[in-house]
A and B are shown apart, each in its own frame.
Chain A
Amino acid sequence: MGDEIVFSTVSKCFAPIDRDAWNALTQGVAWADFLDASRRLLQRGAKLGEDESPASRVRLSCPLQDFLSVGEVNALFAPPSWEDVRSFAALHFTGGLPASAPPIESLYRLPGDGAEPFAPHGESRLPGSYYGESARYMRDLVRRMGMSLPPAFADCPDHLSIELDLLAVLLRSGMTHQAREFLSERFAWLPAFRLRLLGLEDQAHVRFYVGLVDVLLGVWLQHAADAASKRPFNDV
């Protein structure tokens, strides 16, 4: 086990956390483990939430490069300082600013059901609005599973951090099948979010966040494929 470390780590990268927590996350062994776990999860044939024999880990190359650009890989290997992260969030993970790109699913989906996530470019209008269907789903799901949301996320339960956190919880609780289903349903908005990030000017730090999103997208492509193909047509 240990796949959940990928999601719980990325979850923290997009959330407001304090300096000590950030340093503990990025400056110790934890970060190396995160990178290691990411690499493993991106291997072809890797199974989300399933243990692998140590032997099978040996065969491996560096799949990070398959999904991430060199710049992104470098950025992931040298995570920014807490000050940088905080100022990036103040400029971009804050609403109502020209370069706002809050990591909240509702903003990247049109209202209503079954919406295809929409790819917004640069500083154009975000396609969705707050507290859409995905937010209500996440709120219900968290409640249903006997947990509660922290006050800071009370009204954006479809914040990337919460979605990832929940995924980590599912994995930790051994609900592997559900985790896969959740993964395949929940990450379809990430390409749109990724485009939004790429449109920002602050490229030095954008690379770090895009790198994180690309890890998630890589995992999504690798592990959601089978789940998605099983999905029936919506209706006739």
Chain B
Amino acid sequence: MTRYGMLINTKKCIGCYACRTACQRQNGLLPDEAFIRFEEREQGTYPAVSVEHLPLQCMHCEDAPCVSVCPTGASHIGPDGIVTVDHGKCIGCLYCVAACPYQVRVRNSQTGGVDKCRFCNVSNYENGTKMSTCVTACPTGVRIFGDLDDPDCELVKEINRTHAEPIAGDVTKSKVYYVR
């Protein structure tokens, strides 16, 4: 079975927002509709300071709170395990926005519906379609996309090598792993 997932190496992230704008272009999003959000943490005191940039996007949880709270079934988990919003079913109640622990769901200010990362890089991964996704556009190669059930793919090898983990532990069975 294919179980798509992603690795995000925050040690390489410079917080440049290229992934956000590339994603907007690839997916034709509105200027204020971003599937990737960022947290930036500063630690230490001057001059011994460190800074961490953390990009967050839909974790495509196997135990997805957005899916369980959605009253119309618009948010659902597709056959390939990708959490998907059926735009024809969404009423825009925003319950999923409130329920998502990662706050990565956005309201489309034009339709009122809710949207989020669609793991669009699948097309690139499966048949090499040229895209400007967060994975391919990142100038420092922060992200790796792949099949979590394929032990030979780069994603799984890199997760094992770096001991990457979901950002908030096991709470939602997230399929996005982080190196921090």
Contacts and interface: CB of A to CB of B under 8 A. Distances in A.
Interface of A: 110-112, 114-116, 235-236
Contacts of B88: 235-236
A188 to B, nearest CB: 14
Interface residue range, chain B:
under 10
Is chain B's binding surface mostly helix, strand, loop or mixed?
A: loop
A110 B108 CA distance: 11
B110 interface: yes
B111 A111 contact: no
Interface of B: 28, 30, 88-89, 109-111
16 contacts: A110-B30, A110-B109, A110-B110, A111-B28, A111-B30, A111-B110, A112-B28, A112-B30, A112-B110, A112-B111, A114-B111, A115-B110, A116-B110, A235-B88, A236-B88, A236-B89
A18 to B, nearest CB: 40
Nearest to B108: A112
A115 B30 CA distance: 12
Contacts of B110: 110-112, 115-116
A22 to B, nearest CB: 39
A161 B88 CA distance: 35
Given A110-B30, A114-B111, A235-B88, 4 more contacts: A111-B28, A112-B30, A112-B110, A112-B111
A116 B88 CA distance: 17
